[in-house]
A and B are shown apart, each in its own frame.
Chain A
Amino acid sequence: MCFASGLCFLVEEIMATRTQKFKAFVSEPMGDKDVTAVDGINDELGLKLAAKGFDKAYILLGQFLLLKKDHAVFQRWLKGAYGASPSQAQRCASCLTDWCYAFL
């Protein structure tokens, strides 16, 4: 039983840390945050985005809004143009969506 509870604890921790970035981004106006502050955008992807001009989170948000906040289209764009993984793209899309619901 101890092992099971320990395992559960670990799983919860992992899930918690993963959503920490998400919550940190969605909990306040993004302001001038870097694009890497968006959940799902790691450093590598962030560099690729910045090289093409998407150096701030609001610019990525702009692209998202231009695509009419369409999850699928946005993910496809992110995967196709910048080589994001499906999970990265999905996390990014849901992060931006939540931000929009909160502040837009």
Chain B
Amino acid sequence: MPEFLADPSVLTKEKLKSELIANNVSLPGGEQRKDVYVQLYLQHLTARNAPAALAQPDFSSDEEREPTPLGARSRGGAAPGRKATKKTDKPRLEEKDDLDVTEISNEDLQEQLVKYGVTPGPILATTRKIYEKKLQKLKEQGPELGSSTLLPTVSSSAENTRQNGNNDSDQYSDNEEDPKVEFRLEKREPLKAKTKTPVTLKQRRVVEHNQVETTAQLPVDDAVMSEGTPIAETIVASSNETLVVNRVPGNFKHAAPTLSISEFSDLPRRTPKKPLMTAEVVEKTLAEERRVERDILKEMFPYEVSTPTGISASCRRPIKGAAGRPIELSDFRMEESFSSKYVPKYVPLADDKPEKPVTKKRSIPMWIKILLFVVVSVFLFVVYQSMETNQGNPFSKYLGVPEAKIQDD
């Protein structure tokens, strides 16, 4: 029996495939990543260098692992209790097998969430429980996810959060959308940049409405954005349509023109928002309001430049007289009172912005005083010079020329 390589990754993918075929190893259908073939090679062929008994039971596990070519995540998740021939899988599997998520530390919790492709926000006392639940769902659903695309796996995590019911902070749902959003931003680059917001909003809306697939919705966002459709008329329709779309996962294209402004589901979405209203929620609802406003504006002014974040950098000026701010032009006091008092602070801020783009405040009057002093003294000196006639000019030894001037007078 020929000796097989211990490190099959030195071979090309084609070579690996041919080697596998030559040794009657069943290959997964379609094009797979080289890692898959390397794995198979190791399992079947390298194992044959050793007693063949080890190779046999791996077949069943291989079959299940093959359709999940999505790298570490699915491979690790697919065979939690099986023989992992790759050494790299083993430690990871063991780590994930700490079924008691409540015992792991914050950092470990974060790491494990990252392994599932989720970017969690800060894991603090308030957010920890939510992330624990999410990790648990991910671990349960991880092995079951046999799909070959990124979307369903990502959306499953979204489903988890939806099933959780969006209890306290929206942080996790917002953050987990980031990878999805980034995934989509590649397609959406030529399009308007408000893509991020609709996905964000959509996720939250889905939390309240449905527990069904977000797969339908996420790609719909793409289509929606590409449409750039007139927004106003479909506001009402959008919220209804999304519910319909949820049940029709395959009809991405159909949903696109009707779904259009998923972002406007902000408005209905905000109302069912929990009364808990944590900081993040408050922050985000405000941000959404602004987004809604800006989207309408975009429709009204389609030639406006859109920004990557979807937020137009309109310099917002605090309304004078609002929120108890007295209308005063006390901008010179600003710097000193930064840390001390709040009331005079934001008043001078409000006034300072439109008036003084330059940061110098107090320095200006001082410099003006000095300048004025110098100017006045020079002026007086010149006047004195011109007044002096026929008398011995005490300054004559300092100034040679002005004598001619005096003579002209």
* B107: nearest chain-A partner, CB-CB: A52
- Distance A102 CA – B286 CA, assembled complex (angstroms): 13
| Majority DSSP secondary structure for residues of A touching B | helix
Complex partner residue of A23 from B121, B342, B359, B367, CB under 8 angstroms: B359
Q: Interface 1/0s, chain B 291-322, versus A by CB < 8 A?
A: 00000000000000000010101111010000
Q: List, in ascending order, chain A residues with CB within 8 A of B169's CB.
A: 62
Q: Interface 1/0s, chain A 11-40, versus B by CB < 8 A?
A: 011011101101100111101100000000
Q: Are B370 and A5 in contact (CB under 8 A)?
A: yes
The 25 sampled A-B contact pairs (Cβ below 8 Å) are: A8-B363, A12-B363, A15-B335, A19-B338, A19-B359, A26-B349, A27-B316, A28-B314, A31-B313, A58-B283, A59-B121, A59-B122, A59-B171, A61-B283, A62-B169, A62-B279, A63-B124, A63-B279, A94-B338, A98-B346, A101-B323, A101-B342, A101-B346, A102-B346, A103-B318
Q: Are B122 and A27 in contact (CB under 8 A)?
A: no
Residues of B within 8 A of A (CB): 110, 120-124, 126, 169, 171, 278-280, 282-283, 286-287, 290, 309, 311, 313-316, 318, 323, 335, 338-339, 342, 345-346, 349-350, 352-353, 358-360, 362-363, 366-367, 370
Q: List, in ascending order, chain A residues with CB within 8 A of B280's CB.
A: 59, 62
Q: Are A62 and B335 in contact (CB under 8 A)?
A: no
Complex partner residue of A63 from B122, B282, B349, B367, CB under 8 angstroms: B122
Q: List, in ascending order, chain B residues with CB within 8 A of A16's CB.
A: 358-360, 363
Q: Are A12 and B360 in contact (CB under 8 A)?
A: yes
Q: Are A61 and B338 in contact (CB under 8 A)?
A: no
Q: List, in ascending order, chain A residues with CB within 8 A of B278's CB.
A: 62, 65-66
- Distance A12 CA – B365 CA, assembled complex (angstroms): 12
In the assembled complex, the CB of B402 is this many whole angstroms from the nearest CB of chain A, namely: 26
- Distance A23 CA – B370 CA, assembled complex (angstroms): 28
Query: A5-B370, A16-B358, A90-B339 given. 17 additional CB < 8 A pairs?
Result: A1-B370, A12-B363, A16-B360, A23-B353, A29-B316, A31-B311, A53-B121, A53-B122, A54-B121, A54-B122, A58-B283, A59-B121, A63-B122, A66-B126, A101-B346, A102-B350, A104-B286
In the assembled complex, the CB of B125 is this many whole angstroms from the nearest CB of chain A, namely: 10
Q: List, in ascending order, chain A residues with CB within 8 A of B350's CB.
A: 102
Q: List, in ascending order, chain A residues with CB within 8 A of B335's CB.
A: 15, 19
Complex partner residue of B359 from A17, A63, A94, CB under 8 angstroms: A17
In the assembled complex, the CB of A95 is this many whole angstroms from the nearest CB of chain B, namely: 9
* B323: nearest chain-A partner, CB-CB: A101
* B371: nearest chain-A partner, CB-CB: A5
- Distance A19 CA – B337 CA, assembled complex (angstroms): 12
